[in-house]
Amino acid sequence: MGSIIDPNEINPCSHLSSFKDFHGANAYKSIPRTQSPTPRCCSCAGVGLRLYLCLVCSKTHCFDHSSAHQESNPTHKIALDVERSELYCFSCDDQVYDGEFDAKIRRRRRESCLKKRKRAAPESSGLRGLNNLGNTCFMNSVLQALLHTPPLKEHFLGHWEACRQRRRRRAAVPVPAGAGEVSCLACSINGVFEAVFSGDPRPYSPAGFLHSWWQHSSNFASYEQQDAHEFFISVLDRIHEKEQPILPNKGIGGDCHCIAHRVFSGVLRSDVTCTICGFTSTTYDPCVDISLDLEPSTSNTASSVNNVKQKQNPTTSSLVACLDLFTRPEKLGSDQKLYCEHCQVRQDSVKQMSIRRLPLVLCFHIKRFEHSLILKTSKKIDQYLNFPFSLDMTPYLSSSIIRKRFGSRIFAFEGDESEMSSKLSSEFEVFAVVSHMGRLDSGHYVTFLRLRNQWYKCDDAWITQVSEGVVKASQGYMIYYVQKVL
């Protein structure tokens, strides 16, 4: 493996590096120990705006005037976000991370702010902000969802024998001279769980976890913004790879016993049917999430769960309509003709998806980013998505789809589907929503968490209580549901 960037040692922003080299030990001397009771922009005298303190001249401006200030003074690139106590580079147009600032300055200012700030929720709830380490909002948003996934929380906080076994096994293997030790990602995740649920109200910096993830996913080892969904899949894959060698043999049906698959793994069923003779080819695929296309804005779809007809709206879709679209029969194109074993030739066919087995935790990935290889363009779909807080997945199970397609007589041949669907509850409740704000090239991820029927917005280091209306008005990208207890 090639060299891995350590977030604690290397600065991701060249402008911040130049600023520190020029100012030396006085780089952060201009930051006051206490914040003015009524900070305001020195250009427009605005109060209550997002303000930035220039670290070169100590002037405070709102965002627009800070940008203008930097354009007039090219060396004044680095500023302090007064509200969040975070460094901001106006050349990179993003937050930047510096370990020295985080250790020496940020801690002092946050302790001062916390004395005045009303707590959003009790310490035991695990509501703790995560510091942005430089374009890491994608990581923070997914971590917040994983930290509040009930089965994962129980696993990482309740028992950790697997990780202890790994430590003992690694200690017994000699490390070749000159080779650095690769940290255990699952151990790093456990460290984040312990820190977040420790009761410490101060925002936590998951630099150790970021470094560990980079070691195990070197293709992501950079300070560039990443896709939250790709990060989610990568973390589950790495947990699976680390736990698999020490687990007992796979269970019935080849199920993996690692915690990632015990929580998120389900099974999809795909039926491709010949339109001439009715022959059906069935395949099963494991999945840790379900990717859904947004309902076309010109459609007028009926909800199969709530039996309520969706009104035509060019800017709004619904999760139940997306699920209806996902499980709707689809006629395949001429280039996708099925080789029919009965007809012995390729025939026109119809494909239909369904869910053979539900996981404990459902993750819906909403396809908001479109990429055209032909046009070489990418865009984000800014369509809003209505989603229910309680979701019945019964209409989308294979047993329901088959019964609707063929009638009850088919179950003489499809008994395994009926048995599979009856093992677990099909009722789910939402507990986390990862939302993407802004444009494709300069967006920002936040997470909304539902704890004891109250919603909280996790925006990197900041946790705020919000209403249901705010959550429903967000552009959900990943929606997490946990199975209701029977």
Name the residues annotated as catalytic.
Answer: 137, 444
Largest interatomic CA distance in the chain: 81
**CB neighbour burial string for 375-402, b if at least 16 within 10 angstroms, e if fewer:** eeeeebbebebebbeebbbebbbbbbbb
CA distance readout (Å), 405 to 191, 321, 322, 400? 49, 19, 20, 9
Q: Quick one: CA dihedral 82, 84, 87, 89, positive or negative? A: negative
CA distance readout (Å), 367 to 390, 453, 475? 22, 27, 11
| Helices then strands, each counted (H, E), the chain | 15, 23
Tokens 């220039």 locate to 54
Tokens 């509850």 locate to 425
Tell me which residue of 21, 2, 25 sits closest to 104, measured CA to CA: 25
Do 295 and 381 meet the contact criterion of CB atoms below 8 Å apart?
Answer: no
CA distance readout (Å), 99 to 7, 58, 80, 327? 8, 21, 15, 49
Separation CA 294–CA 292 (nearest Å): 6
Q: How many CB atoms lie within 10 A of CB 333?
A: 9
Q: How many CB atoms lie within 10 A of CB 230?
A: 13
Separation CA 364–CA 354 (nearest Å): 14
Tokens 């510091």 locate to 131
Task: Give the single-character DSSP code of 197.
Answer: T
Q: How many CB atoms lie within 10 A of CB 9?
A: 9
Return the SS3 of 323: helix
